[in-house]
């Protein structure tokens, strides 16, 4: 999970996700590296939906 204004560039986040088998990447618009603090309810929903698909 990454913010579109993260200090980690999106292309680097994509590379990291691509190197982890079964990984999924979520880029959250309008957020920084503090995405969890900035959008806690949305992050909780995203994580819950991800885990239900496992």
- Domain borders along the chain are 2-52
| This prediction's pTM | 0.79
The Cα–Cα gap between 31 and 35 comes to 5
pLDDT at 6: 96
Look at residue 54 and tell me whether its pLDDT is greater than 80: no
Q: Are 17 and 25 in contact (CB under 8 A)?
A: yes
Query: Which residues touch 6 (CB under 8 Å, ≥6 apart)?
Result: 13, 31, 32, 33, 35
Which residue is associated with the tokens 């579109």? Answer: 4
pLDDT in tens, 25-46: 999 999 999 999 999 999 999 9
Q: Are 3 and 32 in contact (CB under 8 A)?
A: yes
């Amino acid at each position: 999970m990454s913010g579109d204004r993260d200090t980690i560039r999106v292309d680097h986040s994509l590379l990291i996700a691509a190197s982890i088998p079964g990984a999924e990447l979520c880029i959250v618009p309008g957020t920084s590296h503090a995405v969890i603090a900035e959008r806690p309810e949305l992050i909780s929903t995203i994580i819950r939906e991800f885990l239900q698909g496992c």
